[in-house]
């Protein structure tokens, strides 16, 4: 059952606009590091390589890791500077990325196409999160895996990264509401030590989810 966004719910998305992300990603250093997110890495290593969808891929650390592991990756981001950095990282690793510029609400839909998808530190509020997860659900094959990690609302206590607006931080209830169509395999809020470049460093409170599209 695909849920429609609630027409009475105010859209309070507070993510940076593409220009702001372009400015941030234009720095010489890889601001979130060059190694993949550890939760993403650990989940992907348990799967047979296939087709992988990565919206909001940023500087390409997860996409490059996946390609090196044998996955066919379609990566997307709204920032052209992020794509340029991702291509730099790909060149250093002697791989090529299929990386397109697209906002999350305009992803090209390929129904029942991907074996796995991941959202790593993409923070949306209200209808935007439900809309994106709905799209991912449609694009995954039956039996496809969805992996997600982001900052929890308790991240406000920490200085390890993320913006400080409560409305773009996640509770377990937010993830349950957005991912209700999946068969839940793992859902937890926990503290972890991040070492993902300058902007994700130190003790952090995160939510982690893995689900399967029902057969």
pLDDT, one tens digit per residue, over 153-205 is 999 999 999 888 898 999 999 999 999 999 999 999 999 999 998 889 999 99
pLDDT tens-digit readout, 120-162: 999 898 789 999 999 999 999 999 999 999 999 999 999 999 8
pLDDT tens-digit readout, 24-80: 777 768 889 999 999 999 999 999 999 999 999 999 999 999 999 999 999 999 999
Domains and CATH numbers, the chain: 18-212 (3.40.50.150)
Find out whether 188 and 207 touch, Cβ atoms under 8 Å.
Answer: yes
State the Cα–Cα distance between residues 45 and 201, nearest whole angstrom.
24
State the Cα–Cα distance between residues 187 and 54, nearest whole angstrom.
20
User: pTM of whole model > 0.85?
Assistant: yes
Model confidence band, residue 1 (pLDDT cutoffs 50, 70, 90): very low
Beta-bridge mates of residue 184: 211
Model confidence band, residue 2 (pLDDT cutoffs 50, 70, 90): very low
The two tokens of residue 5 are: 């966004």
């Amino acid at each position: 059952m695909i849920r429609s966004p609630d027409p009475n719910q105010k859209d309070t998305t507070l993510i940076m606009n593409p220009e702001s992300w372009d400015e941030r990603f234009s720095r010489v250093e890889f601001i979130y590091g060059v190694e993949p997110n550890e939760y993403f890495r650990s989940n992907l290593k348990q799967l047979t390589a296939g087709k992988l969808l990565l919206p909001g891929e940023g500087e390409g650390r997860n996409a490059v890791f996946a390609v090196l592991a044998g996955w066919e990756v379609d990566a997307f981001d709204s920032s052209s500077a992020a794509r340029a950095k991702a291509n730099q990282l790909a060149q250093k690793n002697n791989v090529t990325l299929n990386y397109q510029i697209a906002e999350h609400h305009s992803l090209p839909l390929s129904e029942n196409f991907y074996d796995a998808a991941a959202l790593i530190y993409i923070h949306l509020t209200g209808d935007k999160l439900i809309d994106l997860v709905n799209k991912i659900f449609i694009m995954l094959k039956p039996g496809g895996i969805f992996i997600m990690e982001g900052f929890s609302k308790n991240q406000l206590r920490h200085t390890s990264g993320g913006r400080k607006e409560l409305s773009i931080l996640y509770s377990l209830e937010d993830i349950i509401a957005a991912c209700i169509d999946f068969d839940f395999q793992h859902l937890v809020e926990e503290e972890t030590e991040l070492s993902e470049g300058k902007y994700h460093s130190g003790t952090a409170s995160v939510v982690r989810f893995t689900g399967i599209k029902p057969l």
